[in-house]
Structure 1
Amino acid sequence: MSTRARDFMTRRGFLQGGAAGAALLAAGSPLVAGEAPARGGEGRRPGMRIGLQLYSVREDCAKDLGKVIAAVARMGYQGVEFAGYHGKSAAEIRKMLDDNGIVCCGTHAGWDTLSDANLAATIEFNKTIGNKYLIVPGLPGECTSSRQAWLNTAARFNVLAEKVKPHGMQVGYHNHSAEFKPLEGEMPWDTFMQNTSKDVIMQLDTGNCLHGGADPLPFLYKYEGRAVTVHVK
């Protein structure tokens, strides 16, 4: 699985305390050390860095985002993926990251922040915090209610991908479980992925995929190179 994503895997769930943190790092260390087996037995490739999706500790982030980022860095994570900024400016967030030697490995960007009216501000904010990956965590019902709605959504993602590409960024979509349940004879995940360009990230949430009744591994092979970031849970 890990050989299919280029940069970061993000892990939901926050283990607190020294022993728990050590166990987590031990479990994750093969990925960091590059010991994940490559497909076809052709040896081992450099592994990905592991980051934490901050949504999993959102209550703590709301109280003191800086302390959470510092704690995550001490635990050994190499990046964080944001799910809101808790009133902090881009400059403040960048300082928190730099002070703790940790990077932004993505952000969950609300659909409205990628509208024509808001896109320029979103790009500028993410440039400042050093983020390249704008991941949509969910879509309004009108974007997912039918196969045609998914096709329209895919077309919009293609437009967005072209708009952010000159800034060194990519857009992507984070699945839930519904994308793996047939809709008008086709799995919405396939409808979306087959009609978006390779510049659109497939942020595969393995737990949500399993909850939807599907096996995540075949999708990593089927859409090879698209899983720039993966949620493992």
Structure 2
Amino acid sequence: MEISVQMYSVREALATDVQGTVRRLVDLGLTHAEPFNLLEHRDELVRARQSFPIDFPSAHQSFLGDGDFTAVLDAARAVGVQYLVDPSSDPEIWKDAGTVRALADTLNQRAEVAAEAGIRVGYHNHAAELVAQLEGRSALEVFADALDPQVILEVDTYWAAVGGADVPTLLGRLGDRVQLVHLKDGDLTEDASSQLPLGAGAMPLVDTLEAASGVAYGVIEFDDYAGDMFEGIAASIEHLRAVL
């Protein structure tokens, strides 16, 4: 597993200085990062790849709606993205097996187009996909079974736990479908401001990492953090390297 970081964590710094923020991530020892709002940040990300020893193998960008998917793929190619991940959806979708499978159909259609550009598409969960139980299992698992084999999942392990999942067991059931995991820690409540550096909260991190040992990238993320964000990321990197 390679270590990456979701750049949403440092969104406040990015808002004023993209290149300086990327430099700070590189100075922490990171060589991979996961951008968000790919269309908005495309040109700055291309510049960052040229200026620093960092790449962007995965990225978050909404693409399951009615937007211009060709423009999204063009941005992904320009930035060097291998895994293009839709970050969220309406929580109401996950309450019905029919709407879950319809969303999977849309993702499968996008996957066919993206494959021509050499890009794999995927989906990132929050808690709703695990809270909802359909046909005797989580809605996320119903969704996964309806996906084309080339579609990947990025399991947000923290939000899966908040949603009630036994995360190592979930990862085992989803298998090779999972190519990316979001790694974060905290008190396992919906209050994002209570999130903590890896190893400082209630997540079963060691068991989670063991279950996720075959994934391509472990992506450190804070949705929010009461302390200094770069210090929190640095502490997470240090802990993650110690237990991997």
- Residue matched to 1:125: 75
Matches within 5 A, 1:9-158: 48-84=1-37, 87-88=40-41, 90-110=42-62, 113-115=63-65, 118-141=68-91, 143-158=93-108
**Cα distance in 1 for residues equivalent to 2:82 and 2:58:** 7
Superposition RMSD in Å: 1.9
**TM-score under structure 1 length normalisation:** 0.73
- Residue matched to 1:209: 160
Deviations 1:141-174 (A, max 9, x none): 5643421100100111111111101211111111
- Whether contact under 8 Å (1:147, 1:183) holds in the other structure is no
Q: Report the 3-state secondary structure (helix = DSSP H, G, I; strand = E; otherwise coil) of the residue aligned with 1:193.
A: helix
Offset, 1:116: 6.0
- Whether contact under 8 Å (1:49, 1:78) holds in the other structure is no
- Whether contact under 8 Å (1:104, 1:130) holds in the other structure is yes
**Cα distance in 2 for residues equivalent to 1:115 and 1:176:** 18
**Cα distance in 2 for residues equivalent to 1:92 and 1:121:** 16
What code does the residue aligned with 1:210 have? A
**Cα distance in 2 for residues equivalent to 1:87 and 1:212:** 30
Structure 1's unaligned 5+ residue stretches are: 1-47
**Cα distance in 2 for residues equivalent to 1:98 and 1:74:** 16
- Residue matched to 2:150: 199
The number of residue pairs the alignment matches comes to 183
**Cα distance in 1 for residues equivalent to 2:93 and 2:132:** 16
Against the structure 1 CA distance between its residues 140 and 71, is the aligned structure 2 distance closer, same or farther, given a 3 Å change threshold? Answer: same
Q: Report the 3-state secondary structure (helix = DSSP H, G, I; strand = E; otherwise coil) of the residue aligned with 1:104.
A: coil
Matches within 5 A, 1:177-196: 177-185=127-135, 186-196=137-147
**Cα distance in 1 for residues equivalent to 2:37 and 2:169:** 31
Q: Report the 3-state secondary structure (helix = DSSP H, G, I; strand = E; otherwise coil) of the residue aligned with 2:141.
A: helix
Q: Report the 3-state secondary structure (helix = DSSP H, G, I; strand = E; otherwise coil) of the residue aligned with 1:135.
A: strand
Offset, 1:133: 1.2
What is the percent sequence identity of the aligned residues?
A: 27
- Whether contact under 8 Å (1:198, 1:226) holds in the other structure is yes
What code does the residue aligned with 2:139 have? P
Query: Displaced runs of 4+ in structure 1, greater than 3 A?
Result: 85-88, 113-117, 141-145, 182-186
Structure 2's unaligned 5+ residue stretches are: 185-244
**Cα distance in 2 for residues equivalent to 1:214 and 1:117:** 32
- Whether contact under 8 Å (1:146, 1:183) holds in the other structure is no
**TM-score under structure 2 length normalisation:** 0.69
